[in-house]
């Protein structure tokens, strides 16, 4: 027999695979979406960071440039004021004296340094320029000029002032050690001397620190300006003014740091906000996944419930189909049995009829013979006794029957009794044949008025012939009204109950079949003194194919067919049982047929 198709099993496997694929796909796209969102957030944060860095850099650069421009403008005015104030009285005479100092030899050493017989570059030239610087510092006008310059610088942000001639030699510097230096290669001097432009650059300088001790590094703006005599457009030299802008740069740096700090704080808040948004998005996505998973699970459970319901219906229909086939086979068997019993009954009734007639006639003949034989026996006894009333004497002793004449009536009565027993056995055989015919008959009218006590008597009679001789089947019938039923189906149902009750008895016991009327219904009870039904088995006793008997003793359809028959008659079955004591089945049938087939 091929295995049955299990709808639940196949649905469970297919749906779990499908739901797993859907879940994996959703999780994959959720991870991709989350990663893409995170990537976009990181790009936005990075772009914002770059924009803020660029903005801060531009702000700082603009501030430095504005500072440089403003300082350059101020230093240009300062240089002009300085030259206007000191040129005629001090610088012009001083420059005239400086022209008398010969720097050509030093320039020759500078230009020819590095030859085969010359010292290394810088050493001879620097020594020469330094020596000429000493000559300049020794000039009579230097001290007066230096004092006025320093007095003018006092209380200002001017860090250092230097003056170069048109050859690039430092003819004056507020830092005396620099006097005589050659600055002809300096870009600032070149731009101011050649092109007449103002050249400003950011530089660093060092000066002694009164608060910290040692040397303090300062940020400076060095401006190279063409030095012109008042009322003249021709440059006579280059003046370099170095202004200390350390406080301004520190302020710009502090402002930049404040902007940077503000930008970092905003960036950090933006990052936290982005993280919160991402967490919210992830939480929302997880919530969506949970909701979707819940919906899928609910859908799966609903579909599983539907499929299980369908599976149960399929199984129930299969069981009903099998049970119907079994009932049809049973009905066919009962029909065949009925025909066979009818034929056997017909075959038996004929010999039973003439045998019974012959026995009855023999008994009548014996009954007719007994008076004559008794009378003859009395006459013979009188002759033996010498009674003068005897009609004719006979030699009975010579015949050998004198001693047995008295036993003839007793033997005749014994023969009569034996023939009576034979007649009673024939009556019982006739009754059994009638009960078999009543039990197995197939009615053309399936539903009819039936005396339940009478049909139960036939069932009990048949049951006694198939159950163990140790089990007594007792009847306890009360007067019950006729009911509409299909008698052949009820016979089968009650026979199943009686046989099951007898099989539940181990050894000797009693099965009692009783009838009564309760609340407008006919009640048939089948009570046994058997082993009872365990609680774990009781809910399944009416299930088709459920049996606790060996495979060769039962199919598990007896009680299922019985319940089906009772249900078709509009009745019900109640079961009371106690392990070790016995079981009582109570079948309630309506007085009129309802739903019988």
Listed in sequence order, the residues at least 6 apart from 335 whose beta carbon sits closer than 8 Å to its beta carbon are 442
Question: Which domains occur in the chain, in start order?
Answer: 63-254 (3.30.450.20), 443-597 (3.30.565.10)
394 or 424, which is more confident: 424
pLDDT of 297 strictly over 80: yes
pLDDT of 150 strictly over 60: yes
Residue pLDDT, tens place only, 191-235 = 777 777 788 787 877 766 555 556 677 788 888 888 777 667 777
Helices (H) and strands (E) in the chain, counts: 12, 12
What is the pLDDT of the chain when averaged over all its residues?
76
* pLDDT confidence bin for 337, thresholds 50/70/90: low
Mean pLDDT of the region 298-315: 82
Q: What is the pLDDT of residue 510?
A: 92
The Cα–Cα gap between 430 and 421 comes to 14
Q: What is the pLDDT of residue 475?
A: 92
pLDDT of 326 strictly over 90: no
pLDDT of 46 strictly over 90: no
CB 370 within 8 A of CB 334: no
Residue pLDDT, tens place only, 347-361 = 566 666 666 676 777
Residue pLDDT, tens place only, 80-105 = 676 666 777 777 788 778 887 878 77
Name the pTM for this structure.
Answer: 0.40
Strands 471-476 and 509-518: parallel
* pLDDT confidence bin for 331, thresholds 50/70/90: low
Buried b / exposed e over 173-211, threshold 16 CB at 10 Å, is bbeeeebbbbbbebebbbbbbeeeebbbeeeebeeeeee
Q: What is the pLDDT of residue 342?
A: 59
CB 114 within 8 A of CB 108: no
Residue pLDDT, tens place only, 467-517 = 888 889 999 999 999 988 888 788 888 888 898 888 888 889 999 999 999
CB 573 within 8 A of CB 563: yes
Residue pLDDT, tens place only, 434-472 = 655 555 554 544 678 888 898 888 888 878 877 888 889
Mean pLDDT of the region 239-244: 83
Q: What is the pLDDT of residue 476?
A: 92
pLDDT of 588 strictly over 90: yes
């Amino acid at each position: 027999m091929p295995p049955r198709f299990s709808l639940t099993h196949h649905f469970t496997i297919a749906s779990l695979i499908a739901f797993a694929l859907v879940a994996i796909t959703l999780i994959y796209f959720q991870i991709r979406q989350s990663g893409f969102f995170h990537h976009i957030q990181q790009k936005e944060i990075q772009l914002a960071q770059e924009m803020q860095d660029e903005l801060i850099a531009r702000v700082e650069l603009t501030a430095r440039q504005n500072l440089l421009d403003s300082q350059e403008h101020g230093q240009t005015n300062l240089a002009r004021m300085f030259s206007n104030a000191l040129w005629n009285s001090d610088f012009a005479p001083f420059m005239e004296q400086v022209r008398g100092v010969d720097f050509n030899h030093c320039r020759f050493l500078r230009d020819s340094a590095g030859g085969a017989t010359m010292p290394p570059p810088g050493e001879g030239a620097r020594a020469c320029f330094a020596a000429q610087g000493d000559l300049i510092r020794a000039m009579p006008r230097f001290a007066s000029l230096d004092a006025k310059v320093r007095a003018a610088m006092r209380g200002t942000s001017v860090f250092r002032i230097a003056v170069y001639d048109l050859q690039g030699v430092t003819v004056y510097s507020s830092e005396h050690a620099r006097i005589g230096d050659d600055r002809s290669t300096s870009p600032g001097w070149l731009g101011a001397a050649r092109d007449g432009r103002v050249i400003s650059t950011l530089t660093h300088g060092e000066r002694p620190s009164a608060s910290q001790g040692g040397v303090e590094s300062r940020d400076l703006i060095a401006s190279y300006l063409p030095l012109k005599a008042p009322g003249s457009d021709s440059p006579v030299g280059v003046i370099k003014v170095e202004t200390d802008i350390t406080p301004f740069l520190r302020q710009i740096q502090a402002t930049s740091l404040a902007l940077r700090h503000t930008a970092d704080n905003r960036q950090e808040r933006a990052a936290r906000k982005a993280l919160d948004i991402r967490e919210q998005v992830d939480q929302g996505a997880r919530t969506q996944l949970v909701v979707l998973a819940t919906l899928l699970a609910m859908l799966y459970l609903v579909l599983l419930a539907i499929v299980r319901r369908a599976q149960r219906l399929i199984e129930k229909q299969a069981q009903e189909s099998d049970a119907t086939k079994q009932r049809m086979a049973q009905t066919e068997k009962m029909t065949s049995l009925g025909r066979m019993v009818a034929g056997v009954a017909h075959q038996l009734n004929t010999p039973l009829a003439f045998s019974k007639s012959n026995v009855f006639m023999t008994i009548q003949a014996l009954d007719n013979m007994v008076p004559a034989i008794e009378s003859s026996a009395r006459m013979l006894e009188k002759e033996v006794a010498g009674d003068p009333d005897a009609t004719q004497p006979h030699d009975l002793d010579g015949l050998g029957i004198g001693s047995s004449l008295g036993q003839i009536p007793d033997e005749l009565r014994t023969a009569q009794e034996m023939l009576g027993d034979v007649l009673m056995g024939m009556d019982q055989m006739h009754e059994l044949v009638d009960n078999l015919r009543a039990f197995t008959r197939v009615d053309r009218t399936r539903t009819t008025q039936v005396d339940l006590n009478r049909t139960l008597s036939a069932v009990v009679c048949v049951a006694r012939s198939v159950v163990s001789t140790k089990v007594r089947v007792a009847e306890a019938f009360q007067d019950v009204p006729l009911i509409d039923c299909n008698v052949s189906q009820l016979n089968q149902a009650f026979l199943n109950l009686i046989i099951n009750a007898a099989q539940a008895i181990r050894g000797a016991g009693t099965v009692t079949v009783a009838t009564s009327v309760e609340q407008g219904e006919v009640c048939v009870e089948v009570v046994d003194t058997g082993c009872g039904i365990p609680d774990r088995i009781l809910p399944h006793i009416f299930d088709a194919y459920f049996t606790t008997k060996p495979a060769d003793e039962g199919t598990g359809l007896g009680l299922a067919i019985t319940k089906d028959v009772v249900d078709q008659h509009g009745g019900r079955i109640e079961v009371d049982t106690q392990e070790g004591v016995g079981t009582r089945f109570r079948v309630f049938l309506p007085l009129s047929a309802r739903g019988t087939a």
